[in-house]
Amino acid sequence: MTPALSPLDRDLLDGAHGEAARFAMRLLQRFAEAVGARRFVEAEAAHIDGCLYLGRVSLDFVEHLLRLGGRVRVPTTLNVGSVDLIHPELFQGDAAVGTGGARLMRAHEELGCVPTYTCAPYQTIFRPRPGAQVAWAESNAIVFANSVIGARTNRYGDFIDLCCALTGRVPYYGLHMPENRRARVLVEIASLPPEWDEAGPACIAVGHAIGRLCGDRIPAIRGLPAAASEDDLKALGAVAASSGAVAMFHAVGLTPEAGTIEAAFQGEAPEERILLTAGDLRDIVRRLSTVPDGIPLAAVSLGTPHFSLDEFARLMPLLDGPRPAIDIYVNTGRAVLQELEARGWADRLRDAGVTLVIDTCTYVTAVMRELSGAVMTNSGKWAYYAPGNLGVDVAFGSLADCMASARAGRVVRR
């Protein structure tokens, strides 16, 4: 199918807005044909996943756009890169990867992208408005934008996201269209473990379940704790997108397009019903750990997706007490780091033995100093990816469990 072209689309293809925009629009036109999009619409913003260095081809593509005089046409944020440009001394990987990764990040800046370097752009001033058509990449950001904010984006990947940014256009298909945003699967939480005194574990367990059971179908979830925060929903979407291909979920009574079950399904009947009991949720959380309690730890890693200011506010009281026996890493973005510095929290964190990792994440780049033992995390996404990415065993637990374990140097739980 050949998409209809507006006068702006034709100008972009004719080179009226520069050779880089012409090149990008030609790629977008072919992409739109492949996915069956009938037209293009205006993109209000973009978030680029391609500044993580995966080889020379990543850099070649961006530098080609620079040679053509490329500049982004809409506000464009950047996902994590391969190095922490603020703390380059943290990088312990191959020198070529470090050099190439830093160059790739700078090249995106030269295109006019904002150097946010965060997987949580929704926690910056560039958070889109509800209903906005955007071109976002990075799986957890995509889920959050669609589900929690109510913006509109598909699962855009490397290069296509940047083409959208250079043209300001997105193919109108998939989740950009209201009728494609209805729920297909009803996930009902029959009961929650009574010992869970916060919403986080429930959200992570449900996210892992819908990732495995729903594939790329949109679930509507009924029965999540009413106290679930944005950070809890962030964690749910992140692990759902990691363990499956979920690009959107509805949480009945919590997310903007799911005030009721009927609204989430747009008046249609569910294709499938999934029931999750307290026992199911306990089992899911238990299986996120690959080691038993009591085993020695090499480190603790927090902040995947990047830690928010609210999450740091929960962490700060847990710093009181003896200094941790092992390394603690917290991944976060530049905007949050600025606020930590302004509040004096950054120095207190460092004094307590916490390493703040900016611009990147511990499961995608060589930052952690010691990996000879298991690593503990409170992130379902980190627990899912780290065994394959880093070759480490993982212990999953609450934030309080992680801090208690860091002091003990072994896995302990409340």
The span from the CA of 80 to the CA of 140, in Å, is 12
- Helix extents (H) in 244-316: 261-264, 278-287, 309-315
CB of 85 closer than 8 Å to CB of 359: yes
Domain ranges of the chain: 7-179, 182-286, 290-408
For residue 23, give both structure tokens. 């090149």
CB 82 within 8 A of CB 360: yes
- pLDDT digit string, tens, across residues 83-126: 999 999 999 999 999 999 999 999 999 999 999 999 999 999 99
CA distance 200 to 139: 19
Which value, to the nearest 10 degrees, does the dihedral of the CA atoms of residues 12, 18, 23, 28 take? Answer: -30
Closest CA to 143 of 247, 229, 48: 247
Burial class (CB in 10 A: 0-12, 13-18, 19+), 370: exposed
**Cα-Cα end-to-end distance for the chain:** 58
Tokens of 199: 């919403």
CATH superfamily of 7-179: Aconitase, domain 3 (3.30.499.10)
Write down the pTM of the prediction. Answer: 0.97
Which sign does the torsion angle of CA 62, 172, 152, 147 carry?
negative
Round to whole Å and give the CA distance between 76 and 62. Answer: 14
Q: Do domains 7-179 and 290-408 have the same CATH topology?
A: yes
d(C-alpha 408, C-alpha 322), whole Å = 10
Q: Which helix (H) or strand (E) element contains residue 249?
A: none
Upper half-sphere CA count for residue 386 (Cβ side, 13 Å): 31
Please give the Cα distance from 285 to 208 (Å, whole number): 9
Beta-bridge partner residues of 251:
221
Q: What is the torsion angle, in degrees rounded to the nearest 10, for the CA atoms of residue 364, residue 368, residue 371 and residue 377?
A: -70
**SS3 call for 12:** helix
**Residue 284 to residue 209: CA distance in whole angstroms:** 8
Domain 290-408 class in CATH: alpha beta
Partner residues linked to 299 by β-bridges: 327, 375
- DSSP-derived letter for residue 252 is T
pLDDT truncated to tens, each residue of the chain (414 aa)? 799 999 999 999 999 999 999 999 999 999 999 999 999 999 999 999 999 998 899 999 999 999 999 999 999 999 999 999 999 999 999 999 999 999 999 999 999 999 999 999 999 999 999 999 999 999 999 999 999 999 999 999 899 999 999 999 999 999 999 999 999 999 999 999 999 989 999 999 999 999 999 999 999 999 999 999 999 999 999 999 999 999 999 999 999 999 999 999 999 999 999 999 999 999 999 999 999 999 999 999 999 999 999 999 999 999 999 999 999 999 999 999 999 999 999 999 999 999 999 999 999 999 999 999 999 999 999 999 999 999 999 999 999 999 999 999 999 987
